[in-house]
Structure 1
Amino acid sequence: MSNNRSDDQQLAEMFKALGNPHRLLIFQRLSRCCQPGTRCELEQAISFSVGQLGEGLKIAPSTLSHHLKALHYAGLIEMERQGKRVNCWIDPGVLKQLSGFFDPPTELINSGGCDV
């Protein structure tokens, strides 16, 4: 677990944003681009437009925009406008940060305890 309060606060914001089913689905769609342990080129990562992400969600475009802004504000996704198109992607470092939360350091496991 992190000792840095700002890291803990950032993780809390991330998990709060992912607590919404639509946001979780959007994040999952984006995360399939860059699986942990694989290299994700920027050109591959910027493959989802807002319209593509919203396909099948059955929500209004304004609601989709709200969810994307919440994910972006929480530091979960990156967004970039290219003309009329807005592209969204996940920086592979975000996936690493989240997986690190669920994968405790080896020293903690080997010590048989945890410091709370």
Structure 2
Amino acid sequence: MVELQTPRIDTAHLDSVFHALGDATRRRMLRELAGGARTVGELAKPFAMSLAAASKHIKALEHAGLIRREVRGRTHLCRLDPGPLASAHRWLGVYEPFWTERLDVLEGLLREEDARPTPKGDDP
């Protein structure tokens, strides 16, 4: 039996991180930002959305602390802040032993099945 111990993480903040990551558009925006800073217009371009709609997604990412926005005149430049992703990764890491144990059991079953002799007459 695997005992799960949750690391100490601010749950309200973690909720906002998972909320932000729960949307495919925001995940794609984060992936773009992993390659470097982008303007709001550059983040909105791959999607059929207005700058106002893109801004709402960016605000959710900002609220979660996943990005930082710098205003230069009329240009808003966004950068990835990976810190909150590390918190989410630590939280998810609690479940690694759970999945490792199950995958080890599956591997054992598959090895047993492969080791069984094939009955004659079953070959094509």
TM-score (norm 2): 0.63
Gaps of 5+ in 1: 34-44, 110-116
Q: Which stretches in structure 2 are left out of the alignment for 5+ residues?
A: 1-5, 98-124
Measured in 2, the distance between the counterparts of 1:56 and 1:17 equals: 18
The secondary structure found in structure 1 opposite 2:28 is helix
Q: What is aligned with 1:16?
A: 19
Q: Does the 8 Å contact 1:2/1:8 carry over to 2?
A: no
Cα RMSD after superposing both structures: 2.5
Q: What number of residue pairs does the alignment pair up? A: 94
Structure number with larger C-alpha Rg: 2
Q: For 2:32, which of 29, 33, 51 is the aligned residue?
A: 29
2:100 counterpart residue number: none
Moved over 6 A (4+): none
> CA shift at 1:51, angstroms?
1.1
With over 3 angstroms needed to count, the CA separation of the structure-2 counterparts of 1:13 and 1:92, relative to structure 1, is closer
Matched-pair contact (CA < 8 Å) for 1:23–1:67? yes
Report the TM-score, using the length of structure 1 for normalisation: 0.67
Q: Deviations over 1:29-52 (max 9, x none)?
A: 22x33xxxxxxxxxxx4x211111
| Equivalent runs, 1:59-74 vs 2, <5 Å | 59-74=49-64
> What residue in structure 1 maps to residue 106 of structure 2?
none
